[in-house]
Each structure stands twice: as structure tokens, then as C-alpha cells.
Amino acid sequence: MSQYRERFFSRYERFWHWSQAFLIIALIVTGFHVTGLLDWLEYEHAAQWHRTLAFSLIWLWIFTIFWHLITGEWRQYIPTTEKMFEVIHYYSSGIFDPLLRHPFKKTRRLKHNPLQRVAYLVLSVIISPILWLSGLLFVYYNDWPKIGIPSELLSIVAGIHLSMAYAMICFFVLHFYMAFVSKPPTAMIKAMITGYLEVDDMEFDFDREYRLLVIEDDPIFALLIKEWFEAYEGEPLAPLLPDRITIIHVESLKKAVEILKQQSFDWILLDISLPDSQGIETFRTVKSKAVNTPVLMMSDMENEALQSRGIHEGAQDFLIKHNLSRRALARAFRFALERHGFIA
């Protein structure tokens, strides 16, 4: 399989990553001195450095949160269960199989697999805030009487701070380990230095089955689509699409949501006019349940405003039913996979 070099990480992402790593390591070292596990530094110096480094990390996080909000990169951390079990299987046992490929394809739009998203969410929402709050309580311990906090709580705050510090160490060690399980092992380290990652060109794995979910309330039209891909004659669809495509058809948004909770698909073909949902809300609901799956919207008539809104919110294409043919739909599916993988 051929590869190409793609810029994955911006300058600020790389600055934030390495600055955060340096500050966390320094905080661990000075924290060990404060607790007495190390004695290279005097206690006062270690405590002062620990406070300075902690405030530096807090300001770095504040600025980085602002950066994520204005750039839209916060979407990278929205948790999802899509392909979660496949990723868990890969890291638990499949990682030792040299022939097994990672089930999650990184793109600039989807940089983190489901496990990473959950881990970063726990770090951002639980570990770091509790660590900062308990640390600030330590720094301003002398002011506790002024705000009515009993001094007897100091041991509890210390225990919470220490436990979150060890949780941060565990996260850091796991993160360091995971950085070297890529192929080749140094790929992610180099990417965080240069900003570029070698990624595979989009090619089909003809040894596996591909799955298409058709959400369409017209059974005749759904049957036509099935016939196009399961019993076609004449010119083959290759190299546009693989030969093995299984099509699952549902007739309502409710049934689509139910099946998306249980199964994953390679494409979703969505009629935005369903008995139980109409318009852009139909797409939003489906996309929220299949974040990592390319969705092609479909309608009976032209609607430029709706088309523009759908593409803006992440649809890979907007198709008009009476303009469709077998080959046109195959091309739409092929290009949807490519855009889904390559656009930022």
C-alpha cells in the first residue's frame, strides 16, 4: 500500500504538547521532593518550583482551551463508542499480530481513536481540574479561615491531591507507552516534532466485507439500490468500490438510531425526509450516532440552502434521487470515503 506525507499537527499543537510534557515531568519531580520521595532539592526550593510550574501549566491549559474553542479542535475530544470494541481488541491482543491493522484510521479531522477520546476526557474533566483545585487550596491554606474552610480538612485535600497526582503519572506513563506502538514505533514521536505523519492512501481491503446503511422510507427505491450493488450486470464497479458490500435497510430514523447503537458501517445513505424526521435535524441525529462514518444526504428535490447546511455540518455529499444511477452512486461512495479521510 502506498503512503503520502500529510501535515497533521499545527505549530501550536506541537508547542502545547511538548510544553505540557515538560511541565508535567517537572511537576512530578518537584512533587516527589515535596513529599520526601526524593531529596535532591531542599524542601523550600522544591515547593516554590512546584507552585511556579503548576501555575504555568494552568495558564497553558487556559490558553489551550481558548485555542481549541476558536479553532473548533475541541470536536476531536467528543467521546464516541463507534469502533470502541475493535480498538480495545487491537490493543489487548491484536497488537501482537503483525498482520492485523489498526481498526481506526487517523485523519486530520479525526486524530484520536475512541479509547484516546475517553482517556483525554477523563484527564480534562476529572483528573486535571481536581488536581488544580486541591493544589490551589494548598497554596492558599493560610486563607482557609477567611472563607470558612476547616483546617482539619487539610489531610483530606492532601490525599485527594496525591491520588490525582498518581493518576496523572499513570496517564503519562500510558501515554508514553502508546506513543511507541505505532508502525513504525517512532512515527508519532516524529509527527509531534515535525507536524507530518506518513498515512496510507485510501485503498480497499478486498478481503473484507463493507457495510452500507440505507435509511430510506421508500422500499422500492431501497430495493433498487440493493439491486445496483448486489446483482448488477455489465460494467463492474471496481475499482470504484469493492465487490463485497452488504446493504442494511431501515425505513425510519428511530430504527436507524437503534441499529447504529449496535453496529458500525462504512457508509450511510440518508433520505432526509423520513416519516419521523425531516430536514437537517435528520442528518444531525444520524451523524451524532455515527461520528466516524461518512454520511451521504439524499432528497427528492434540489434545496441549495439545505445542501449547503448539510455539507457545512459534515455530510460528504448531497444527492438528488432522480439524478442517481448505479455508477454515479458508486462514485459518490468512493469520493465520500476519500473526503472523509483526507479533508481537515
Same domain, 39 and 94: yes
pLDDT at 342: 43
Confidence tier at 126 by pLDDT (50, 70, 90): very high
- Range name among 9-13, 82-86, 196-200, 254-258 with the lowest pLDDT average: 196-200
Same domain, 263 and 141: no
What are the tens digits of pLDDT across the range 103-115?
777 777 778 888 8
Same domain, 164 and 273: no
- Return the biggest CA–CA distance within the chain: 84
Confidence tier at 343 by pLDDT (50, 70, 90): very low
Q: Using a pLDDT cut of 70, give the percent of the chain over it.
A: 89
pLDDT at 58: 93
Question: Is 9 a residue whose pLDDT tops 50?
Answer: yes
Same domain, 337 and 288: yes
Confidence tier at 200 by pLDDT (50, 70, 90): low
Which residue, of 200, 227, 248, is where some domain finishes? 200
Same domain, 215 and 79: no
Question: Is 239 a residue whose pLDDT tops 60?
Answer: no
Is residue 205 included in any domain, yes or no?
Answer: no
Beta bridge partners of 297: 270, 318
> 91: domain CATH number?
1.20.950.20
Mean pLDDT of the 182-203 span: 77
Confidence tier at 32 by pLDDT (50, 70, 90): very high
- Range name among 26-30, 181-185, 213-217 with the lowest pLDDT average: 181-185
Which domain does 149 fall in, by range? 3-200
Same domain, 260 and 165: no
> 283: domain CATH number?
3.40.50.2300
Sign for the pseudo-dihedral over CA of 315, 317, 321, 324 = negative
Is residue 319 included in any domain, yes or no?
Answer: yes
Average pLDDT across the chain, whole number: 84
What are the tens digits of pLDDT across the range 87-99?
888 887 777 776 6
Question: Is 134 a residue whose pLDDT tops 50?
Answer: yes
Q: What total number of domains does the chain contain?
A: 2
Mean pLDDT of the 247-264 span: 90
Q: Nearest 5 degrees, angle CA 222-CA 259-CA 104?
A: 105
State yes or no: cis peptide before 236, omega within 30 of 0. Answer: no
Q: Nearest 5 degrees, angle CA 130-CA 136-CA 141?
A: 125
Is residue 89 included in any domain, yes or no?
Answer: yes
pLDDT at 139: 86
Pick the closest to residue 77 from 120, 129, 122 (CA basis).
120
Same domain, 155 and 216: no
What are the tens digits of pLDDT across the range 207-225?
567 888 999 999 898 888 8
What are the tens digits of pLDDT across the range 308-325?
888 888 888 888 888 888
Which residue, of 161, 180, 200, is where some domain finishes? 200
Confidence tier at 240 by pLDDT (50, 70, 90): low
Same domain, 219 and 193: no
What are the tens digits of pLDDT across the range 271-330?
988 999 988 999 999 988 888 788 999 988 888 888 888 888 888 888 888 888 878 888
Question: Is 206 a residue whose pLDDT tops 70?
Answer: no
Confidence tier at 233 by pLDDT (50, 70, 90): very low
